[in-house]
Amino acid sequence: MTAGVDTPDGRGRTGLDRTGLDLTGNPRVKVRDVTLLSSHWYVERSTTYDLQRSDGTWSTQQRETHDRGNGATMLLYDADRETVLLTRQFRYPVYVNGHPDGMLVETPGGLLDDEHEHPELAVRREVVEETGHTIGEVRHVFDVYMSPGSVTERVSFYAAEYGASTRTHEGGGLDEEGEDIEIVELPFRRALEMIRTGEIADAKTIMLLQWAALEGPFSGTRR
């Protein structure tokens, strides 16, 4: 008996070794076997599949995938004051991989509670928890696979206005999740400079800031 396969794992999941076996969208890919490597909070799998190459020949390949669920993130901006509201928190994975102190400046966001939760609902919840702002109308910007070579996660990107009237909670994250989040308000031009200096090194944040400069709320005011 294996947890996550035929008995529930710590999050009550079973059948985690079946993911991918029913895929039929690409006739050049035939999934042969899925092996569950671990299922703690996230799920690690090794998948063997046949891939038909462009010359018609077939090859058997094996890939490991990291499944942490899908996520959502949001750029909070004040168009009148030309500011953005970001967060700063400690991220161990970047700390252990060369970041000086692991304190990453980011747009607020997080994971969907489950595969059925709508990304907009998830990001609204995360924005309240992290920044204390209950925002109104939101704009869906795009959906992105952030690291498609090994990570299954798809992140939905949003943008919305914030201001004094949207501040409804304290923010700072959830104590029960070990979060200790600082709220950082920056002039938009300063945020762009921080990309160039490396002070902002988070991919989703860079993408949203550059979207805001190219075609978003600051596209006509960045110079």
Q: Is 130 marked as binding a ligand?
A: yes
Closest C-alpha to 107, from 41, 186, 215: 186
Q: Is 44 marked as binding a ligand?
A: no
**131 touches 88 (CB < 8 A):** no
Q: In 55-202, where does DSSP find H-type helix?
A: 92-95, 119-131, 188-197
d(CA 63, CA 120): 31
**30 touches 50 (CB < 8 A):** yes
Q: Is residue 36 classed as helix, strand or coil in its secondary structure?
A: strand
Handedness of CA 45, 92, 115, 75 (dihedral sign): negative
Q: Is 179 marked as binding a ligand?
A: yes
User: Which residues make beta-bridge pairs with 77?
Assistant: 84, 161
Structural tokens at position 160: 């919305």
Interhelix angle 188-197/203-214, rounded to 10 degrees, is 130
Q: Which residues are annotated as a binding site for Mg(2+)?
A: 126, 130, 179
Q: Binding site: which residues?
A: 126, 130, 179
